[in-house]
A and B are shown apart, each in its own frame.
Chain A
Amino acid sequence: MMETANRLAQHFATEKQRKFESNFLRDAQIYETWNEVEIGRSFQGKQKFKVMEEDVLSYNKAMEETDLLLIDAAYATENSPTKELIQHPLFVVKVAFYCIENGPGSWIRSPGAKNPGQKIEILEPFKIGETISMTVTPIDRWIRRGKHYITDKLDFRNESRIHKATWWLTLIIPPNREEILKFAQM
């Protein structure tokens, strides 16, 4: 485990990355589980995400983008139509994991989870300096071929309540705490 943490730490480039818990097995005892989630009940994400230039840059660089508008802040300030770094369309993934942390929607971190497919709508790209709040609404869970699926609707808004993005987040996860803990204790 320490070896994994050390390997990952080599890539830390932002304040959020340095502070965020990288061991997802640690809090498995408190993650939401498929059988306990209340469908239809909304919660605020545990954390708010203040969009920093370094956050955008680290996502774009992880995708090995080469367009200077995505990876060179000074160039983007001069040449981008928004006068700031252009964001990769999937940047919202980082915002979601940060906002959820180990609170509402934490089944996203379940050991043993599988990703069948996702849908994301971006109404307006996030802007550097905005503080993003996320609402988590479990909208469905179902069983197909013995697998337990669940979907949360994640809505992202800035401090002026402008709706920025929605992610229909679906995973196949272990059906209950006992099964999650089996994976966590392997």
Chain B
Amino acid sequence: MKAVRFSQVNIGDELAPVEHIVSQAVIDRYAVASLDYNPVHTDIDWCKRARVFGTPETVGHGMYTMSLMASVILRNWSAAFARVRSIEAKFTKPVEVGSLLRCFGRVKELHPIAPGKNFVLVELKAVDKAGEPMALGFAEVMLPD
């Protein structure tokens, strides 16, 4: 993938979406990769009893959703050159097992600070199959000059 340069990016540019179905296998794999074994994600029987989010189902990790939001940047702009220097997200709805998660990015601000320090602010959004927001966020991304 070719590096996208700061000068090539414009406010309003849309990044191609990334979507995954959050199956139990996806949740399990993320639990193992992140070492976050909270039973609300992994323990199917416990979730039926505890109903932490009101549902008897497991839910995906918020940090998985946030990671997928960051993946929008990695997959649109070369991961080798576009460096996410900060990212924040608010989670608006739990992602029940089996849900489709679709993540979008849009360039919101350009910050032409100085060569080697320029960055863009990308607005990030994760929605479900019906288009309901699951998470909203921003990332500051440094791009080559």
Chain A interface residue count, Cβ-Cβ cutoff 8 angstroms = 55
The distance in angstroms between the C-alpha atoms of A98 and B32, with both chains bound, is: 11
Q: Does B130 touch A at the CB level, under 8 Å? A: no
- Find the B residue at minimum CB distance from A168: B88
Which one of B30, B53, B78 lies within 8 Å of A62 (CB-CB)? B30
- Distance, CA A161 to CA B66, complexed state (A): 28
**With A62-B32, A186-B50 as given contacts, are A113 and B63 in contact (CB-CB < 8 Å)?**
no
B120-145 with Cβ < 8 A to chain A = 137, 139
User: What is the bound-complex CA distance between A59 and B66, given in angstroms?
Assistant: 13
* B residues 69-117 touching A (CB-CB < 8 Å): 70-71, 73-75, 78-81, 83-91, 94
CB under 8 Å from chain B, chain A span 169-186: 183, 186
Q: A11-B28, A93-B36 are in contact. Are A112 and B89 (CB under 8 A)?
A: no
Return the contact of B35 from the options A7, A69, A97, A111 (Cβ within 8 A): A97
Separation of A58 and B79 alpha carbons in the complex (Å): 17
Report whether B67 and A63 are in contact in the complex, using a CB–CB cutoff of 8 Å: yes
Q: Are B74 and A22 in contact (CB under 8 A)?
A: no
Contacts of B39 in A (CB 8 A): 4, 24-25, 111
Which residue of the partner chain, among B62, B66, B74, B139, contacts A67 with CB atoms under 8 Å? B74
What are 8 inter-chain pairs, A to B, with CB distance below 8 A?
A: A4-B42, A8-B31, A86-B79, A88-B71, A89-B139, A93-B36, A94-B33, A115-B62
